[in-house]
Structure 1
């Protein structure tokens, strides 16, 4: 796929004061703008420091799944919190609705990470042209998959001044999905037998999808692989009967997985390799991951980043203790716990970003 980006054609933007339940010491406006061929209209909110001119700026890039401009997940508004903090510290922030969400048009379901990187550059080039913004100091902050979109964009355009990844996807797609699902399964409150069976079917199906991701017959290969695994699992269960005290039946969501895996996003994702993009990044690069994150493993991600950015002397990685994928201080640190936690975003990570941005 061609990742080259065509420069944004400047089109009229629409501004409207953003409503707010509380007074803020900065200006907040609703904005709308278009991509180069006008096929997508983007809707977002731009927050501008009240008294500072020629200020640095960032675009926030969301992770996997359709999200609004506030980065609303599990009742938490990650991007609203980040934007508020950065703008109070003199940094302009543009946060944008994803494709097909809110005021942004387009179809999210047919897009890939490469498309999201193009969207990021559309937003960055629009932001560079705004009054009060230092056009040489506009960068990207990406969460999870948004981190990958950030370094893809930085590899393709010299206009990206710096990037920050927050739990950014930074390992090959197959490795990432395997590690993510192993962590989810192994921390789940289920029996060791169920953990074995889930890890077995996951690995078997992931390898199959990886092998046939570019085939028009992917679904047929998946169903064949599932039947093979069922036979192997039956043999395993015959020699390892389920404990009668082990409540709940084992279930693999084959139909929903087929629907997901045969779509363009998953086909791209499972074959994705960050290395060619990371190797092209020459701008300052800060990567922050929580050490309790079970969606993106900090250690393996940082190993891959360091390996493939060895020619860039401006790369810094930080492992933040006690934080989950949404950068909340967690207890059990499972995915279900995020709904119970009250914290929006760890204040120490906000401070890290402000300090780093001001030094770059």
Structure 2
């Protein structure tokens, strides 16, 4: 069921809501990653009860081989969390999310302030010292060979720990997916046979170490897939080039700013880029796709919004891009927000630009990608006198339920699974959605729900059915996780919302662009729906185009599969950039 869960996660991870009657607690284990430029550092916090109702805890920074560093102060006041490590001149301040599963805030050390989100973790999934044979110490990197001929670079890192003789730590990196520092749960070397397990992603590897100790040839197993993987010992990890990422000095002004969303009572933080000169300039607010996104829409080493903003500002168009609520330097809570909340944030950004003297207040528009392409029309319909234009990049024209079912089919097919397994994935998702829509999912016991899912596999070939039932995570666990995610607030809104209701009320000029190979928002499913909805409302200032060879991120792609995103060096196709800038200049009377 991993492809089903993959399709769900691509639309945005949403967490369960904590009951208002539950008393907040931070007792347990917490895992996060500090990012300082290109450097990523895993941080683990352990919290337990102290004397007299107090809390006590310790920190691990596994990459620095530091475990059990005591915290002098750790406190929870309401939902505000604070801890201090005076010995290292470090402190953290953050807010516990409503579901009690994440703490978002800032980590400060020696005057440097770094955004940090800590997530609850099971003790077994944490990086920890292990007795690992010295022959495995080092960096092992190689490509997982995927069914459709794609590859996915991964690495195993086994590192010594100072002060822990004979002990080592081990991490797994999915390099092309940007998932780094995943703790290895278990690792062994028996003779020449190597085996390691990563519980956090339900993956295992088994292989043979060659006589020279330089190569491990074997098989990667995850879900129902068993894929060839050869790991070679290397001095350092290879890096993918990102040639389009702009570097200073820039031929325009860059301003870091904050602005308020009074409707939500939160402060949003972003970056405004202004062309040289006095203006007033046309301007665009950038609205990101689903999931917690920073102002650059950073994904798999790519920064699409940074690349777009740089191109547009050089073309005489000001751009405001900002961190999602609860992400980076923006306040608020992401986990409980829906697209309506993000529309409120986007409108606050539009109003911020309209009040700037350098900006032409009648030429402020929105550029929305993926979910942002759903949010943009919501804002334009709500405030038609304030939104001057819309650029929809892979925007949706049908309900979220239709998107999710179709997306699941396309993504699973692009992963190379058989047609019978594709049918089971889609039928399983359709069944779960129907049960949730009808309010019946809570009436079924877990055993009844799992039996219903097993019945859907009855028509499979015996080997496919066995593989699915023995997948990792198991079918039952995957079903529980899917139900939990689909019942969360963001998903409930997304599944039911029909974007045509807002599109019919949009009066400003609209440019809707799609990638021909997009398997997340298929142009065949959405382009005409958007065009027809806008036309039915009387809007004749509309351009809808499908750009050949491009994927959901507007990269030139082979198959369009999300597994390709990180491996592609291009961040955003030049022809798409050119089309956006020329259209905005024309729509705002600059050309």
With structure 2 as the length reference, what TM-score do the two structures score? 0.54
Equivalent runs, 1:95-244 vs 2, <5 Å: 95-158=321-384, 159-212=386-439, 219-220=442-443, 226-227=449-450, 229-233=452-456, 235-237=458-460, 240-242=461-463
Aligned to 1:294, which of 496, 506, 519? 519
Distance 2:336 2:257 in 1: 25
Deviation, structure 1 residue 348: 0.3
Residues 86 and 245 of structure 1, relative CA distance in 2, 3 Å threshold: same
Q: 1:329 aligns with which of 553, 556, 561?
A: 556
> Among residues 465, 476, 485, which one is paired with 1:260 in the alignment?
485
1:74 to partner: Cα distance: 1.4
The 2-side partners of 1:220 and 1:39 are apart by: 38
Deviation at 1:192, TM superposition (A): 2.9
Could you report, residue by residue, the CA deviation over 1:313-336 in whole angstroms, capped at 9, with x for unpaired residues? 011101011111111001132111
1:306 is aligned to 531
2:583 & 2:412 partners in 1: Cα distance?
A: 35
Tell me if structure 1 keeps the 8 A contact 2:516–2:548: yes
Structure in which a larger fraction of residues adopt helix: 1
SS where residue 309 of structure 1 aligns?
Answer: helix
Question: 1:32-43 to 2 correspondence within 5 Å?
Answer: 32-37=258-263, 39-43=265-269
For residue 71 of structure 1, report the CA deviation from its aligned partner: 0.8
SS in 2 for 1:108: coil
**Pair 1:81–1:228, CA change in 2 (3 A):** same
Q: Distance in 1 between matches of 2:367 and 2:470?
A: 41
Q: Contact (CA 8 Å) 1:205, 1:225: kept in 2 or not?
A: no
Classify the secondary structure of the residue corresponding to 1:46.
Answer: strand
C-alpha displacement at 1:227, in angstroms? 3.5
* Distance in 2 separating the partners of 1:303 and 1:225: 41
Task: Structure 2: give runs of 5+ residues left out of the alignment.
Answer: 1-245
Tell me the CA shift for residue 241 of structure 1.
Answer: 1.7
Q: Which residue of 2 aligns with 1:8?
A: none
Question: Following the alignment from structure 1 to structure 2, what is the Cα–Cα distance between the partners of residues 222 and 139?
Answer: 49
Query: 1:139-164 CA distances to partner (integer Å, 9 max, x unpaired)?
Result: 00000000110000000002000100
The structure with the largest strand share of the pair is: 2
Query: Are residues 1:65 and 2:291 paired?
Result: yes
Deviates more, 1:200-209 or 1:308-317: 200-209
Structure 1 residues 249 and 320: alpha-carbon distance in aligned structure 2, compared to 1, 3 A threshold: farther
Deviation, structure 1 residue 221:
5.6
1:135 positional shift: 0.4
- Distance in 2, matches of 1:146 and 1:319, equals 18
Change beyond 3 A, Cα 1:277–1:224? farther
Distance 1:280 1:128 in 2: 21
Query: Structure 2: how far apart are the matches of 1:249 and 1:303?
Result: 41
CA deviation after TM superposition for structure 1 residue 211, in Å = 3.4
Q: CA RMSD in A?
A: 2.2
Are the aligned partners of 2:307 and 2:571 in contact in 1 as well (CA < 8 Å)?
yes
Q: Distance in 1 between matches of 2:571 and 2:498?
A: 31
Query: C-alpha deviations, 1:175-205, integer Å up to 9, x for none?
Result: 1111111111122122333222212212211
- Please state whether the residue corresponding to 1:76 is helix, strand or coil: coil
1:76-127 Cα distance to aligned partner (Å, 9 max, x none): 1000000000000000000000011111011111111111111110110011
Match of 1:285 among 489, 510, 515: 510
